Structure 1
């Protein structure tokens, strides 16, 4: 629980610093940075674990590849200014979890 709360604080700080540095202020809500930290920790600990998409059972991938894809998507979102998700918080959480 301490790791989860710490990840939430760190990912929120990363998000705030990124918003301050870029001047792009938009609201963010939730604990997705902390969830990303836990996911990154599990994917780093067991990178060969098989994961899948619940509605597409025939599609499987390794946890390591899933983490790489999520980090790539969030990096693209941060660089391209996508505002649907707080990509900086996700990346901060992933960095904390690794």
Structure 2
């Protein structure tokens, strides 16, 4: 059955599983440098823009992501062709990284301004956030909530293929809006054109409100926006070229 999956989707799944096993069990010390940190954090490296898409935070995270990709990816890959599908996947992942960190930038700037106005030395927070020189220790700033939050923003990485996969799902919803999908706890299949907007609105609320529970909800939104835009552009020529 696995061999029947189109090559790009199959290889993305294989690569995600390999990276999960290597960084989770064989070489865990490399996990920190492959996850994506805030771009102005001392922990950020340029390659993280791509490598974070193949990192996952646990078994359920990777299982859910790969199952979703397995469910929607093959149809899109066959419809768009391998080249467009690959472009869709990685641009959606980049869109996820961009939107998530655009909001991070707003929050970090706000925290930094408030700390400077309170005569707090934010350079000390940035210096001690360098995980190549210091161990992760949020208790350093636990006495100051804003300094603690700034430290967390600089030392907490984003991982996962969710942003790229949200782009795939959004593209699927754009090209096949009347397709019905099953959702947990809802016994009746629903059209994807109704499900996706609800999920995106919910993700925006959770991401902006700070009630995300450690999930990068705005990354999902960024990926979905890119997937929607690309699918709208390609939809006009889909059947002409494929």
Listed as ranges, the gaps of 5+ residues in structure 1 are none
Structure having the larger proportion of residues in helix: 2
Structure having the larger proportion of residues in strand: 1
- The counterpart of 1:64, out of the listed 193, 201, 209, is 193
Deviation at 1:68, TM superposition (A): 1.0
Q: Note if 1:5 corresponds to 2:134.
A: no
Distance in structure 1 (CA, Å) of the matches to 2:185 and 2:207:
28
Q: Note if 1:51 corresponds to 2:164.
A: no
Indicate how the Cα distance of structure 1 residues 27 and 82 shifts in structure 2: closer, same or farther if over 3 A, else same. Answer: farther
Counterpart of 2:204? 75
Larger Cα Rg: Structure 1 or Structure 2?
Answer: 2
TM-score, structure 2 normalization: 0.37
CA RMSD across the alignment = 1.8
Deviation at 1:82, TM superposition (A): 2.1
Q: Specify which structure has the bigger relative contact order, considering alpha-carbon pairs within 8 angstroms and separated by 6 or more residues.
A: 1
TM-score, structure 1 normalization: 0.86
Number of matched residues? Answer: 97
Listed as ranges, the gaps of 5+ residues in structure 2 are 1-85, 109-148, 229-242
Indicate how the Cα distance of structure 1 residues 57 and 10 shifts in structure 2: closer, same or farther if over 3 A, else same. Answer: closer
